[in-house]
Structure 1
Amino acid sequence: MKKRLFKLPRLAWLKSGLFWRTFLLLGVLTTLSMSAWVGMISIVQREPQVQQISAQVISVVTITRAALTHSAVGLRSELLFELVSNEGIRVFPMEEDDEVDPPPDNALMPDIEALVKAKLGADTRFSSNVNGVSGFWVSFKIDDDAYWLMLERERIRGLTGIQWLGWAGVVSVVSLLGAALISSLINLPLARLTAATREFAQGNRPPPLPEKGPREIREANRSFNQMVDDLQQVESDRAVILAGISHDLRTPLARMQLEVEMANLSAESRDGIQSDIAQMDAIIGQFLDYAKPTEAATFINVDVKNLLEECAHDVSRLPDVQVSTELAERSHVLGNATDLKRVIGNLIENARRYGKTPGKDVAEIELKCSVKGMHTARRVTIEVSDHGVGVPEEQIAQLLKPFTRLDAARGQANGAGLGLAIVERVLLKHGAEFKVRNRPGGGLMIQIVMRAIA
């Protein structure tokens, strides 16, 4: 017989953030501390409480018995009335037919009985209810006559279990509120730092973090602000350098192109040199695209369906490409239309060059667009697939690295290896998910997931 394995449910909320972990740890610590405190108080105060209650009972019974013994017979009724009115003490003769219940069910009662009997006599009786009247009943004798003395329970009992529970509940609520406040204060700077980091990762410059609070928080925020400034400066310098180098390189290329046109060369030599110059110019263009920033201020409502139809129409004029489309309606995203069209164009060109169907001279490319989810959770998914030989699984991650070419897997490359790196860089600015994987049945599938807008 096979044994069934039951998995314990994972506390996803506990792993989701520092706030709940801190709150839980503080709550557990407070609960354990309070439990230890209650236990310690119960142990420490037990003996003094027993002594106090026993002494009170013995004193009341002794004084009442002495008062009744030494008072005149005619004044006993008035004395009993005074005891009831002022002290809450009632004295009744004990009858043989009295209905007597057991003593109060209290953890201190056995010790109280032992101490009271040691002073008043072993025949002293205790009850919680006599003849239907609730109270704390103690028996005593005057000569041969037996009496019941009733005290109000409030005078001899400590905190009840319900009272302990009530106080424990109040302390627990206050402690949990304090734990929530402390957790929030601890988590707030980290949450602010996380939000700034996420915004910076999306290509935006976050507002400077406040450099105040505890020393560790001040240093972390100051270091983050300095890092943002440094990286922004590096990014700006790199863009300027690449743009300058590309401009300086294109000037001699233009002269070389002019010299080739005017030189007395054979047609084969001229075509070869012009091809090399064109390739060099294309590589310089890739450098410029890679260095070009994508500003969020340029984002507009982009109809992905129309954009993909334009890309498919542009590439369908090439003789070595067959494009099939499957596009959903109402697929709108927020982005830079020019950059997104360049992204799709790069992916299609990559598939055209390296994704030709084995045994054919034609690249079969599929463009798909779908919309899933509802309301704010709607996502637009774009897929660009080819029917080539694909890429070994262990080398897929290398495709996204700048200046990387997998010639063995995707054919002979003629660029600088920046195609997919440019695509990833642009999509990162758009907050999109970019996935590359092998297509079932052969070929490479590139998937882009973006948040849809109405």
Structure 2
Amino acid sequence: MASWIGMINRVQRGPQVEQTAQLVISVVTITRAALTHSAPELRRELLFELVSNEGIRIFPLEDSDLVDPPPDNPLMPEIERIVKDKLGADTRFSSRVGGVAGFWISFNIDDDKYWLMLERERLSGLTGVQWLGWATVVGVLSVLGAALISSLVNLPLARLTAAAREIAQGKRPSPLPEKGSKEIIEANRSFNQMVDDLQQVESDRAVILAGISHDLRTPLARMQLELEMAQLGNEAREGMQSDIAQMDAIIGQFLDYAKPTETATFVPIDISGLLEDSARAAERLPGMKVKCEIARDILVMGNATDLRRVINNLIENARRYGQTPGTDVTEIDISLRVKPTGHGKRALIEVQDRGPGVPADQIEQLLKPFTRMDTARGQANGAGLGLAIVERVVSRHHAELSVGNREGGGLRIQIAMPLAE
């Protein structure tokens, strides 16, 4: 806007000076010619005609006239120069003569001197309203141009953001167009390459995990078979069977943690029925006491196998670490209800135990892979992937996981899942 105002002022200056000077010269020349060639008896009517129709007044120039300086206008020096070149160097200018304001120019007819007064409105440039109108037009055009440029810049960034969000949700985004500015082309090309690399990593991981499953579990099965056939005492046999079962469980945890959750397989799941099945299975375990408050017929979008694994991991985590202090019993409370949130209604799943809990400053460590809070939750065997698997699956289901200590002792785990449409 500042550049535009300066440019208009610069471009307008020359034409306005020339136009104003030519107007003054023309008016003075025509008026002088009319007075010179008119009959003396008709001059009074001529002067009245000039005043009434053209706004031009003629006064005799007296030496005693009170004359003010010319109008204080940045264009005035150039106007004076052009007018004096045409009308003579003795031409005078004034903004007020005898207390009457106007644009005053002197001229001579033979030896007589006169003042010619023009109304200032005829010599003014752009008015404030005109400047405001032009400024509004240019401002609107500038905003439209800025909006167009902004959209051209933001559209590739919006595509990149949407594609990154799809990757975070476990989806494979469509390749980004490699066109536009150099920076956008480089960013999109690098992003597309990253997506391909991630896909290759996923494929390689699937192959490696399949190999691990085959290469490790086959020897474990052989060891289990040889153990059954070996002549060993009951104590030694049970110890080795426990070790083999533990290794098999750890391998299963690795596979569960690395297994991707495909969002394309999501369907409406009766989470109420799934929780009830898991609770009944938990009640059959020795030393388990389960209390349920499960709302009926609540549906969520997800993968039934993965959600069942999540619930079972939470129950197993509570069974291992949540024994009520001073007893051999593990008390678990499982609840399900619909809760309004800022993102709409959510299915709120809660699994709570009455164990020793976890120190508040170590709760965040629970969700990290290969982490066990042995000091707070008791000694246990495993790879420390139970809650890490839960966190990984929950995030792929666009749900929220919250871990904290319950009042009165024990650990409380909450999962808030979007309801199925």
Q: Aligning the two structures, in what range does the TM-score lie when normalised by the shorter sequence?
A: 0.7 to 0.9
1:295 aligns with 2:249: no
Identify which of 392, 402, 409 aligns with 1:442.
Answer: 409
2:177 maps to which residue? 210
* Contact preservation (8 Å) 1:379, 1:449: yes
Structure 1 residues 84 and 330: CA distance shift in structure 2, 3 A:
farther
* Contact preservation (8 Å) 1:93, 1:147: yes
Greater Rg over alpha carbons, structure: 2
Residues of 1 paired with 2:131 and 2:298: CA distance?
62
Residues of 1 paired with 2:93 and 2:188: CA distance?
75
1:169 aligns with 2:136: yes
- Post-superposition offset of 1:343: 0.5
More moved, 322-331 vs 441-450: 322-331
Residues of 2 paired with 1:418 and 1:323: CA distance?
24
1:275 aligns with 2:248: no
Matches within 5 A, 1:25-424: 34-35=1-2, 37-38=4-5, 42=9, 53=20, 56-57=23-24, 60-61=27-28, 63-64=30-31, 67-68=34-35, 70-73=37-40, 75-76=42-43, 89-91=54-56, 108=73, 119=92, 123=97, 126-127=100-101, 151=119, 153=121, 155-328=122-295, 331-373=298-340, 377-424=344-391
Residues of 2 paired with 1:262 and 1:110: CA distance?
115
* Contact preservation (8 Å) 2:166, 2:173: yes
More moved, 62-71 vs 39-48: 39-48
Structure 1 residues 200 and 361: CA distance shift in structure 2, 3 A:
same
The residue type equivalent to 1:161 in the other structure is G
Residues of 1 paired with 2:368 and 2:170: CA distance?
18
The residue type equivalent to 1:288 in the other structure is L
Residues of 1 paired with 2:126 and 2:237: CA distance?
105
More moved, 334-343 vs 383-392: 383-392
* Contact preservation (8 Å) 1:58, 1:120: no
The residue type equivalent to 2:388 in the other structure is A
Residues of 2 paired with 1:107 and 1:145: CA distance?
24
Identify which of 395, 398, 408 aligns with 1:428.
Answer: 395
More moved, 136-145 vs 377-386: 136-145
Write the deviation string for residues 237-270 of structure 1: whole angstroms up to 9, x where unpaired.
Answer: 2222122222222222222222222222222222
Residues of 2 paired with 1:126 and 1:306: CA distance?
99
The residue type equivalent to 2:300 in the other structure is V
Structure 1 residues 375 and 283: CA distance shift in structure 2, 3 A:
closer
The residue type equivalent to 1:260 in the other structure is L
Residues of 1 paired with 2:147 and 2:398: CA distance?
33
* Contact preservation (8 Å) 2:322, 2:410: yes
The residue type equivalent to 1:351 in the other structure is A
- Post-superposition offset of 1:273: 1.7
Write the deviation string for residues 20-40 of structure 1: whole angstroms up to 9, x where unpaired.
Answer: xxxxxxxxxxxxxx1354257
Residues of 2 paired with 1:84 and 1:372: CA distance?
86
Q: Secondary structure at the match of 1:378?
A: strand
Residues of 1 paired with 2:44 and 2:270: CA distance?
102
Residues of 1 paired with 2:113 and 2:185: CA distance?
83
Residues of 2 paired with 1:354 and 1:189: CA distance?
50
RMSD: 3.8
- Post-superposition offset of 1:169: 1.1
Residues of 2 paired with 1:146 and 1:118: CA distance?
10
More moved, 49-58 vs 404-413: 49-58
2:66 maps to which residue? none
* Contact preservation (8 Å) 2:91, 2:106: no
- Post-superposition offset of 1:207: 1.1
- Post-superposition offset of 1:360: 2.9
- Post-superposition offset of 1:413: 2.0
Residues of 2 paired with 1:350 and 1:107: CA distance?
90
Residues of 2 paired with 1:182 and 1:255: CA distance?
68
The residue type equivalent to 2:54 in the other structure is I
Identical residues among aligned pairs (%): 64
* Contact preservation (8 Å) 1:382, 1:449: yes
Q: How many residues align?
A: 399
Residues of 2 paired with 1:158 and 1:358: CA distance?
93
Residues of 2 paired with 1:125 and 1:52: CA distance?
27
- Post-superposition offset of 1:111: 6.5
- Post-superposition offset of 1:313: 2.0
Superposition TM-score, scaled by structure 2 size = 0.80
- Post-superposition offset of 1:59: 5.4
More moved, 190-199 vs 325-334: 325-334
Residues of 1 paired with 2:279 and 2:24: CA distance?
100
Residues of 1 paired with 2:74 and 2:387: CA distance?
83
Structure 1 residues 173 and 126: CA distance shift in structure 2, 3 A:
farther
* Contact preservation (8 Å) 2:91, 2:105: no
Superposition TM-score, scaled by structure 1 size = 0.75
Residues of 2 paired with 1:293 and 1:320: CA distance?
34
Structure 1 residues 231 and 81: CA distance shift in structure 2, 3 A:
same
The residue type equivalent to 2:380 in the other structure is A
- Post-superposition offset of 1:227: 1.6
